[in-house]
Chain A
Amino acid sequence: MRCDVCQKNDATVYLTQIVEGKMQKVNLCEHCAKEKGVSDPTGFAMADLLLGLGATQQIEHGGQPAQKCPVCGFTQIDFKKTGRLGCSACYDTFADGLANLLKGMHKGLKHTGKMPAHLSRRYAMADRVKSLETDLQKAVKNENYEDAARLRDEIQKIEHELQA
């Protein structure tokens, strides 16, 4: 049996794990087993490895095979080889293929946890601009020019802050 990671050496280490009630099996050669730290007492490598291997096969279905990340030069072929991405921008580059993959891997497709405080302030400001713009349109439509002028000022002020 061939090693699932390098596809070159004979597999000598056989691993099984149960995830979501499904049995997953991985066969590794001595070298890859060591490299991937499957006997790692910190124990995270195994889960990453198992899920990562399934990942490489799925991403191919999305996007064109020639796609290349403009920021780091990573390609889908590289992903197939390593099960890892090249940089954070790869998530946009390969978004189509990744969506499918993430769906099978996680509980949802939307992050609901914490975020850096400065970003949450920015997102809140961007949301505020959007709602002010709706109000502005309404005010213009109703020929309520006094309100419109005030709303325009407020939008400009927030946009100025966002650029800072």
Chain B
Amino acid sequence: MTFDDIVAHPGQWLRGDGPHDKIVVSSRIRFARNLKDRPFPGWAKKAERLKILGEIQDHVAAIPAMDDGYTAPLQDLTALQKQILVERHLVSREHASKSAGSAVVISHDQQLSMMINEEDHLRMQSLLPGLQLREAYKINNEADLFLEDRVPYAFHPDLGYLTACPTNVGTGLRASAMVHLPALVLAEQINQIVNSVGKIGLAVRGLYGEGTEALGNLFQVSNQTTLGETEEEIIDRLVKVIEQVIEHEQNARQTLLERRANMLLDQIGRAYGVLGHARAIASKEALNLLSVMKLGADLGLFPESTQLAVDELFMTTQPAHLQLGEKKEKLSPEERDTLRADLVRAKVKKIPEPDIAKVKPAANGNGKKKDK
């Protein structure tokens, strides 16, 4: 598989179906693993990093799931290619900043990706559409079982898998789900949810943007602790919480439909109007309006195919994807905004107007008005 294949075919997590995929965009499992008694990548000299890479890479590429996959040492990738991989959620931003001595290996279906010499010697990650944390765990675990016979892992009888950062020690497991919660945000209930999930040791944060602001109403829910619980316990707890979050979002949608249908239709109509006619649009505005379109599609106001179109725009309107295929070396922010608007307009023009008959506004349709 080549880099162009990856560009041409976004991974399963974007195109595929999964349980609850209207609210849970994707599920991800990550393991951190290291070699025994060898300096971690952040502490190793370049020669040592190269040596470690040499010792791991062939074994990683030999994992059955990596058959016909993609392998690249990071110094062979351009800055743009690295950024594309970040926007595809195949490598971390930290890994993209690495060069000689680090590598990435991606499976043909792009469900499994391995970062060699990121913060740890090996970070393996599985990414699936919808709520499929247990399935993603299975994919990671199989790769792990293959490697543990071939690579001398750093493992401590009390502390488990040893990692560069003590926050990952034990299982080395980070499980997370990306959830789309527009109704909870519109109903201003999101802070309550974030707080209560935080209280039980899980983290919720915006996917894009900084601090508590979550652009595109996309949030990531993940475990915080890795030592003292089994992998199954960590994942079970997370799944239970996510199922509750889904329920809250569904209830919030129902309540909005029943009590504030006009406000909801107004938001969806405006998003459709702006995205269909804008000539320049910044990333922040695009993400937020696309989120409203996605909600409209979930509620049946747009045809079924709108889901994928909108999900693809979430990805293709990001900076590196906009730059891709452009002749000019580096687009200015203004040029990017224009290009983004062109892209969005072309897609949204193909989507018919929201079918309002699907939502019957209540008699007092304009109910409580909001000044936003």
Contacts and interface: CB of A to CB of B under 8 A. Distances in A.
Given A84-B40, A108-B228, A48 B167 contact: yes
Contacts of B132: none
A8 to B, nearest CB: 19
Contacts of A149: none
A19 B93 contact: no
A120 to B, nearest CB: 10
Interface string B209-237: 11110000000101011111111000000
B228 A40 contact: no
B92 A88 contact: no
User: Which of B36, B93, B161, B169 has the most chain A CB atoms inside 10 A of its CB?
Assistant: B93
Interface of B: 28, 30, 34-40, 42-43, 86-87, 89, 91-94, 97, 119, 125, 141, 145, 148-149, 153-162, 164-171, 173-174, 176, 194-195, 198-199, 201, 203-205, 207-212, 220, 222, 224-231
Interface in A114-130: 114-119, 123
A6 interface: no
Given A17-B205, A117-B148, A41 B167 contact: no
Contact of A87 (B40, B169, B203, B225): B40
Contact of B155 (A20, A98, A112, A116): A116
Give the top 6 A-B pairs by smallest Cβ distance, nearest first.
A108-B228, A111-B160, A88-B154, A18-B198, A107-B228, A37-B93
Contacts of A72: 39, 43
Given A84-B42, A84-B43, A87-B39, A102 B169 contact: yes
A84 B164 contact: yes
A85 B166 contact: yes
A38 interface: yes
A112 B209 CA distance: 36
Contact of A106 (B91, B211, B228): B228
